[in-house]
Amino acid sequence: MARMEVNYTVYVENKAGVEDTRHIKMFVPFMFSDTPEQVFGNVVDVMKETVKKMKCELMGGLIVAYFDGLEVFTAEFYSNEEIGEINWIRSSSETMH
Q: 21 lies in a domain?
A: yes
Helix (H, G, I), strand (E, B) or coil at 77: strand
Count of structural domains within the chain: 1
pLDDT, one tens digit per residue, over 38-63 is 988 899 889 888 888 988 888 899 99
**What residues make up the domain containing 83?**
11-95
**Domain presence at residue 1:** no
Angle (nearest 5°) at CA 62 between 77 and 12: 80
**Domain contains 73:** yes
pLDDT at 15 over 90: no
22-35 mean pLDDT: 92
Is residue 4 in a domain?
no
Residue 86 lies in a domain: yes
* pLDDT (tens digit per residue) in 59-74: 899 999 999 999 988 8
The yes-or-no verdict on residue 23 having pLDDT over 90 is: yes
